[in-house]
Every structure is written in structure tokens, then in C-alpha cells.
């Protein structure tokens, strides 16, 4: 990290780091040479992860895809402001696995597991799209399996 005032690379972190909604880490730093303070924002590079779709097709992992699914499921529900947090949680779990490939099925299951804990209505919305429910009997079966 280079000081924007004098160009020195010697600095220290002067306050606690904070993480904002999009997962950026904020650090307040002080230059050891000129003593001026500046703020840095660090973001972990996008996950280099391939997602294997049901048809065997692969695509690069995309945070926004999970996010859009969650936004739809949580529309007008109490947990709707937790979408970013949920996506980050799922991304962290995927990163922890350290795998280069995951199936879209696994990601779907992780999303379902999180929604189930958070909000059962959102869970049912998501699962109905995910498992392509045809009619109310599918919902009834799913609700029964929850009890």
C-alpha cells in the first residue's frame, strides 16, 4: 500500500477494520514517513470458480445470479435487507471448500438451507422455482416435508 502523499510504502493500520455490505474491508492507515492518514478499501478478488450446470455446461461463478434469486424470493419479506449478507455467507462457504468447480445443484441447496433458516415463505418461493413446481400439490408436499 503506497502513501498517496509521499509515495512511501511504510505505513501502519490505525483503526479497526470494518466490512461494508459488499464485503469490502476498510482500513485507516498512517504513513510512517509523512504521518498523513489515508483510507484503503480492499475487496477479495472474485471467486475463480466454475459452476457446472444441470446440462453439464460450465460458467464462471457469478455472485449476482445468487443475489437476484434471493432478491426475488425475499421480496417484501422481513429478511430482504439481508440479501448481501446471505450471498457473502454462501460465497465464503464455497471459498472454504477450495474447489475449482461446484455444481449449480450444490449452490441451490446452500441457498435453500439459508432461506429455510431465515424465512419459510421465501424458502417456498425459491424452492418452487428451483424444483419447478407444477401445482399446489407440490407445495403441499414440500410443506409436509418441513413439518
* Residues that bind Zn ion in the complex, under the rule CB under 5 A: 3, 5-6, 8, 31, 33-34
The CB-of-15 to Zn ion minimum distance in angstroms stands at 17
Structure-block grid coordinates of residue 69 = 434469486
Q: Name the residue with cell 475449482.
A: 100
Residue 37 vs 77, nearer CB to Zn ion = 37
Shortest approach of Zn ion to residue 25 CB, angstroms? 21
Rounded least distance, CB 31 to Zn ion, Å: 3
- Which residue from 14, 61, 45, 11 is spatially nearest to 31, judged by alpha carbons? 11
Shorter beta-carbon distance to Zn ion: residue 10 or 58: 10
3-state secondary structure of 66: helix
Distances (CA, A) of 22 to 28, 35, 74, 82, 130: 18, 30, 18, 11, 25
Structure-block grid coordinates of residue 129: 422455482
Bridge-based pairing state of the strands 50-52 and 101-103:
parallel
32 or 113: whose CB is closer to Zn ion?
32
* Closest CB to Zn ion among residues 5, 41: 5
Q: Residue 48 CA to chain centroid, in angstroms?
A: 14
> Closest distance between Zn ion and the C-beta of residue 60, in Å?
38
Amino acid at each position: 500500500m503506497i502513501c498517496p502523499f509521499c509515495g512511501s510504502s511504510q505505513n501502519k493500520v490505525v483503526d479497526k477494520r470494518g466490512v461494508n455490505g459488499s464485503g469490502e474491508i476498510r482500513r485507516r492507515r498512517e504513513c510512517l514517513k509523512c504521518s498523513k492518514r489515508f483510507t484503503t478499501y480492499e475487496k477479495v478478488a472474485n471467486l475463480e470458480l466454475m459452476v457446472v450446470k444441470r446440462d453439464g455446461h460450465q460458467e464462471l461463478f457469478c455472485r449476482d445470479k445468487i443475489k437476484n434469486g434471493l432478491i426475488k424470493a425475499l421480496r417484501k419479506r422481513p429478511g430482504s435487507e439481508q440479501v448481501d449478507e446471505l450471498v457473502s455467507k454462501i460465497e465464503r462457504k464455497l471459498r472454504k471448500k477450495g474447489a475449482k468447480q461446484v455444481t449449480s445443484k450444490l449452490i441451490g441447496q446452500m441457498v435453500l438451507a439459508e432461506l429455510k433458516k431465515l424465512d419459510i415463505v421465501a424458502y417456498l418461493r425459491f424452492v418452487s422455482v428451483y424444483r419447478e413446481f407444477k401445482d399446489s400439490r407440490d407445495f403441499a408436499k414440500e410443506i409436509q416435508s418441513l413439518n
